[in-house]
Amino acid sequence: MTQSIQLPIKQPIKQHWHLRFLELAAHIAQWSRDPEKKVGAVIVRPDKTIASVGFNGFPRGVSDDDARYQDKELKRELMTHAEVNAILHAREPLSGYTLYVWPLAPCVRCAATIIQSGITQVVTIPLKPDSNWVKTLELAENMFAEAGITVTIISGEIRLPELFIG
């Protein structure tokens, strides 16, 4: 199921947990060495403490020199997505946990891993109109719906620091 949240205007952004964790995901995204697409994910426990974080990159120990990032096909093959890295870095069962991802919703492959991990909620931001990920994101959304995962799109105004935009 998909739901949109309109944030209360008077509520300070910093007090809103969804925004806090999306901001953190945006920060983590900047750790990615991919010059084109930097994605960050944060997994949060029901008590709002952080269980794990991840960003997109090549597997540990695999050379991630710039030339490999220039070869788009090779990059796609070698890349582990932020959501999967966050799940793999976690040291505990994730049943009932929430995954925050910025700036893209999970692809269909990540969606499968998210479902299998026991995570029950995904929070992200609206898709950019020019995104070429529409097809895989639609498939992922359908899978989430079938599996009973709540997808929360934060459509309120998110003021991320200038550094994180683009």
Please identify, among the stretches 59-67, 92-100, 102-110, 145-153, the one whose residues bind Zn ion according to the rule CB under 5 A: 102-110
152: phi then psi, degrees, rounded to nearest 5? -110, 120
Q: Phi/psi of residue 159, each to 5°?
A: -105, 90
Cis amide linkage into residue 103, ω under 30° from 0: yes
Binding-residue total with Zn ion (CB under 5 A): 3
Residue 151 or 156 with smaller CB distance to Zn ion: 151
* Minimal distance, residue 82 CB to Zn ion, in Å: 8
**CB-wise, 18 or 81, nearer to Zn ion?**
81
Cβ count near 38 (within 10 Å): 20
| Annotation marks residue 83 as catalytic | yes
By beta-carbon proximity to Zn ion, the closer residue of 120 and 124 is 124
Say which of 83, 92, 141, 157 is annotated catalytic.
Answer: 83
Query: Per-residue contact track with Zn ion, 65 to 84, x per CB under 5 A?
Result: ----------------x---
Does residue 28 bind Zn ion (CB under 5 A)?
Answer: no
Binding residue (CB under 5 A) for Zn ion from 24, 110, 122, 158:
110
With beta carbons less than 8 A apart as the criterion, state whether 97 and 51 touch: yes
Residue 95 burial (C-beta neighbours within 10 Å; 0-12, 13-18, 19+): exposed
Least separation in angstroms between residue 119's CB and Zn ion is: 14
Binds Zn ion (CB under 5 A): choice among 22, 107, 125, 154: 107
The H-assigned helical ranges of 5-151 are 17-29, 66-70, 72-78, 82-89, 108-117, 134-147
∠ CA(111), CA(38), CA(120), 5° rounding? 25
* Residues forming the site for Zn ion (CB under 5 A): 81, 107, 110
**Active-site amino acid positions:** 83
